[in-house]
Structure 1
Amino acid sequence: MDILLKRATIIAPGDKNHLHTKDILVSKGKIEKIANNISAPKVKVLESDNLHVSIGWMDIGTHIGEPGLEHRETIDSAARAAAAGGYTDIAIMPIVYPVTHSKSEVSYIVNNQPNNGVRIHSIGAVSKDAKGEDLTEMIDMSRAGAIAFGDGLKSIKDSGMMMRALQYAKAVNKPIINYSIDKSLVHDGQMHEGDVSVSLGMQGIPSLAEHVAIQRDISLAEYTESELVLHCVSTEEGCDLIKKAIKDDINISATVSYVNLIHIDQDLKSFNSNLKVKPPIRSNRDRKALINSVRKGSIQTIVSNHVPLEEEQKKLEFSYAGFGATGLETCFAAVNTHLSEDIPLEQIISALTLGPRIQMKTYLPAIKSGEVACLTVFDPSISWTYESKKKKSISANNKYLSTSLTGKVLATIIGSKVNL
């Protein structure tokens, strides 16, 4: 489909058209023309009062259910949810059944791309069955198409294994992405350890568990001179360690879940199980530190932390409910709604576009004439409601269902595929 974007503000840091308002004509999957005023008969015209366009957004660490748990999410449903949320690329975690821990599972993901053009990238497991016991054949998985390695939201406990994983990943020029938490300090924790957990009588997850694990991982990254992505950082102490490591030129970077930028443990007083996530939402002090780290660039990427779960896992007493929430369809809108005064729009978009692609070392699109189109089109001023009957994800474990949000994705354009 050919499409004309009218009066779109371009967000493309470093480009001559950055923050300029232009018309953009996309024809036969390529950006044909960028100009002040374009007339093109017989093409689909997309316009809005505050139309914006950037290169396509990318999510790191998306969880799906295929293969094995298709009732939670399939590749196709995840791709539809991704497009609805503005994503043109998603890098999926290996926690499926069977775990993505060999070249055959990676090949399954790479060779089963969805019809809507959203590109699905595979993150291979570091350990067999993601049990943290035996290393996988990371070199084989890299050759099959894995772009990074990690065990999902299962932290790699053994320091020796983590060190060897970093060394193997370095050999194939791929990053390790690790959710850093010392599980021996967590026990049966259900939420952030603090005044709220005490008042609710809930076992807490101490900030110390993240602090100790991040410190270890940074030390191993420095020792091995390997590339490490610290995934879903949630504490002020973690932010401080990351800032220091970056200042010391250690090759690490970080992501943060959008939910942790918006919510705090006080929000769990109603026992909303859709806010029971990993990492846990923490104190307001932690939240402010995370926001500051995104604003200053020491956390480079905002992720949806999309973990679809069936109703039977969530409609339980809080202590029995599973950890996780969907986020592909609501990440940008929720951040734009709640944090527009804290993080500039340009910085939010950078954390959805440049940050993840630099971390995953994937192709970086451009908004230039002649380039293959990879665009997200949105209006940050439109208010809309995330409704159950219109959602694209199979699962419904999302705090924002039936909630009014500000900032709506209007289209993703991926080559000749246009998702409106």
Structure 2
Amino acid sequence: MDSGKILIKQAKIVDPNSSHHLQVKDILIENDVVIEIADSIDAKDAQVVEHDNLHISPGWFDLRANFCDPGHEEREDIESGIHAAIFGGFTGVAVSPETSPAIDSKAAIEYVYQRAEEFPVNVLPYGSLSKGLQGKELSEMYDMYQSGAVGFSHGKKPVANAALIKLALLYGKEFAPPIHVFSTDESLAYKGQMHEGEVSTYLGLKGIPALAEEVTLLRDLHLSEYAENAIHFMAISSESGVSLLRNAHSLGKPFTADVALANLIFTDEALDTYDSNLKVSPPIRAKKDREALIKALNEEIIQVITSDHTPVDVEYKKCEFDQADFGMITLESFFGALGNLREDGLNLEQIIKCIAINPRKVLGMETPSVEVNSWGEFTLFDPDHKWTFGKEHIQSKSRNTPFIGKELTGKPLGIINNNILVWMAEK
């Protein structure tokens, strides 16, 4: 709902950048700008937002999701992806270039913006590092950047061509945000179905070793150092990968990194039912890997948690595990699933940094703040609300989620962006 004035009553502010951090305040937004924060505010003609245990933070921003548009609109399109993002509490999403055709041109960047312009979620496209995601020839990076590409990646398509990564790092450092790389050696991961370990042996499934992540991650760290340009590592999944990043951090090497939701929530032991909805890339790994990832978030060796939302057609999930596609939809269940991690040592303030503040830092963007004169881009939520995720909560066109029937902790209640309030407390 568009409103000239929005008055938020008695909300606890979770924003480390705000002078009101962890305080309960009334907040008045007018024409997309915070104009007052006080213990109590009365405002005529304002739309009033009230709710038990109401919290507010900078709008959540997902660093990576796949909206499959153009090319696979039967899985997801930009509009359905936006609806999933809204339900998940996001005001911004950066979308993968893994479409058909790939997002590898000025026209493709403009297409995404045109499709998303009428909605209260900022959808920002990555440009493909290479033409057609083929990993051979560098794409027209500068033209895409000028047209609004938020960064450059190859999605989940590993780049075996080290010279291409080197060239992208050298060429892009004058104008572009960090290059995003998915560190997996395809030859080591070939035909792998899950994490290589005791569980894969027991289940009789070919494993994907952590070594596949290690060798490519180490290569890309060296390429970044050679090019004297920062690099962003997507979807770190292993204890050994974390160790390499921790060492690089101690040496002062410039990088950022993210972890996908699935790798924080699940371990390979959950695959004993052969649930193909848990088949993701990179694979969910062992307990020690999950624990290392949580520790790395607290140490800010890894700075961002992504949804890694990846819709898959039902026929490519309801089949034998080794025939199923990789991917999981996660936008709608994202915050509630993360809430369960608070028992594992990841507190609410750190979660908000990882899903609202740090994603924008990675991309070189400004972050809204719950502060007078900031623009009004916020997420409203109850971090303690327990609820059961059901099919009725899915907004995506796809249904490939393992969260149906699971109790989650924490629920988005609404978003405010572009002077539009979307209130979902009763859904």
TM-score for both structures, normalised by structure 1: 0.97
Identify the match of residue 349 of structure 1 among 344, 348, 352. Answer: 352
1:144-163 to 2 correspondence within 5 Å? 144-163=147-166
For 1:57, the aligned partner's letter is W
Rounded Cα–Cα distance in structure 2 between residues aligned with 1:384 and 1:176: 38
2:214 equivalent in structure 1: 211
Asked if residue 270 in structure 1 is aligned to residue 273 in structure 2, the reply is yes
2:306 equivalent in structure 1: 303
For 1:396, the aligned partner's letter is R
Instruction: After superposing the two structures, state which structure 1 stretch, 143-152 or 281-290, moved more.
Output: 143-152
Asked if residue 187 in structure 1 is aligned to residue 175 in structure 2, the reply is no
2:321 equivalent in structure 1: 318
Asked if residue 412 in structure 1 is aligned to residue 404 in structure 2, the reply is no
Contact 2:151 2:176 in 1 (8 A): no
2:97 equivalent in structure 1: 94
Instruction: After superposing the two structures, state which structure 1 stretch, 146-155 or 39-48, moved more.
Output: 39-48
Rounded Cα–Cα distance in structure 2 between residues aligned with 1:382 and 1:115: 31
Rounded Cα–Cα distance in structure 2 between residues aligned with 1:339 and 1:71: 35
Rounded Cα–Cα distance in structure 2 between residues aligned with 1:29 and 1:335: 29
1:50 equivalent in structure 2: 53
Contact 2:310 2:328 in 1 (8 A): yes
Shift of 1:388: 1.5
For 2:357, the aligned partner's letter is L
Rounded Cα–Cα distance in structure 1 between residues aligned with 2:252 and 2:281: 28
* Structure 1, gaps ≥5 residues long: none
1:331-346 to 2 correspondence within 5 Å? 331-346=334-349
1:183-262 to 2 correspondence within 5 Å? 183-262=186-265
Asked if residue 65 in structure 1 is aligned to residue 78 in structure 2, the reply is no
For 2:273, the aligned partner's letter is S
Instruction: After superposing the two structures, state which structure 1 stretch, 108-117 or 318-327, moved more.
Output: 108-117
Rounded Cα–Cα distance in structure 2 between residues aligned with 1:340 and 1:379: 16
Rounded Cα–Cα distance in structure 2 between residues aligned with 1:45 and 1:140: 44
Rounded Cα–Cα distance in structure 1 between residues aligned with 2:255 and 2:373: 34
4+ residue runs of structure 1 moved beyond 4 angstroms? none
Rounded Cα–Cα distance in structure 1 between residues aligned with 2:172 and 2:195: 32
Rounded Cα–Cα distance in structure 2 between residues aligned with 1:276 and 1:198: 16
Shift of 1:167: 1.1
Rounded Cα–Cα distance in structure 2 between residues aligned with 1:252 and 1:93: 20
2:385 equivalent in structure 1: 382
Contact 1:308 1:326 in 2 (8 A): yes
Rounded Cα–Cα distance in structure 2 between residues aligned with 1:106 and 1:237: 36
Rounded Cα–Cα distance in structure 2 between residues aligned with 1:36 and 1:101: 50
For 2:292, the aligned partner's letter is A
Q: Deviations over 1:257-287 (max 9, x none)?
A: 0110111000000011111001100000000
Shift of 1:247: 1.8
Identity %: 38
Shift of 1:417: 1.3
Shift of 1:331: 1.4
For 1:256, the aligned partner's letter is V
Shift of 1:30: 2.1
Shift of 1:162: 1.0
Instruction: After superposing the two structures, state which structure 1 stretch, 136-145 or 190-199, moved more.
Output: 136-145
Contact 1:236 1:290 in 2 (8 A): yes
Rounded Cα–Cα distance in structure 2 between residues aligned with 1:36 and 1:67: 48
For 2:380, the aligned partner's letter is V
Rounded Cα–Cα distance in structure 1 between residues aligned with 2:34 and 2:76: 33
Shift of 1:152: 0.3
Shift of 1:54: 0.6
For 1:393, the aligned partner's letter is S
Shift of 1:338: 3.5
Q: Deviations over 1:165-201 (max 9, x none)?
A: 1112212232111110111111100000000000111
Q: Deviations over 1:97-127 (max 9, x none)?
A: 1100111111111232243310011100011
Query: What SS does structure 1 have at the residue aligned with 2:61?
Result: strand
Query: What SS does structure 2 have at the residue aligned with 1:389?
Result: helix
Shift of 1:41: 4.3
Identify the match of residue 113 of structure 2 among 104, 107, 110. Answer: 110
2:369 equivalent in structure 1: 366
Asked if residue 283 in structure 1 is aligned to residue 286 in structure 2, the reply is yes
Identify the match of residue 328 of structure 1 among 315, 327, 331. Answer: 331
1:119 equivalent in structure 2: 122
Query: What SS does structure 2 have at the residue aligned with 1:111?
Result: helix
Rounded Cα–Cα distance in structure 1 between residues aligned with 2:230 and 2:405: 40
For 1:284, the aligned partner's letter is K
For 1:163, the aligned partner's letter is K
Contact 1:242 1:253 in 2 (8 A): no
Query: What SS does structure 2 have at the residue aligned with 1:185?
Result: helix
Shift of 1:42: 4.3
Shift of 1:157: 1.1
Query: What SS does structure 2 have at the residue aligned with 1:149?
Result: strand
Rounded Cα–Cα distance in structure 1 between residues aligned with 2:46 and 2:388: 29
Rounded Cα–Cα distance in structure 2 between residues aligned with 1:217 and 1:394: 35
1:14 equivalent in structure 2: 17
For 1:264, the aligned partner's letter is T
Shift of 1:404: 2.2
Contact 1:80 1:116 in 2 (8 A): no
Q: CA RMSD in A?
A: 1.3
For 2:134, the aligned partner's letter is K
